[in-house]
Amino acid sequence: MTTNRLSPYEAGWLTMLVEQGICTRGDAQAAMNRVAQAAIDELNARREAEKYVRKKKRKKREDE
């Protein structure tokens, strides 16, 4: 299943934690930033892996 969300977490979960008094707004913002950065890092790693595969395939074709 693919989505356009950066993370698998349901929308509004950080807001709920703040409303319940479980964390502060600053803590929730920091958590959101960590989740977003992890998603960005994962996307970049996938892009680099795909780039490596494409480069390897191109080199193999050139050698033939």
Q: What is the pLDDT of residues 24-58, one digit of tens each?
A: 999 999 988 998 899 899 999 999 999 888 887 78
So what's the pLDDT on residue 36?
Answer: 87
> Residue 6 above 90 pLDDT?
no
Residue 9 banded pLDDT, cuts 50, 70, 90: low
Confidence of residue 14 (pLDDT cuts 50, 70, 90): confident
- Give the type of residue at 20: Q
Q: What is the pTM of this model?
A: 0.61
- % helix / strand / coil in the chain, to the nearest 5? 70, 0, 30
What is the spatial distance between Cα 27 and Cα 14, in angstroms, rounded to a whole number?
9
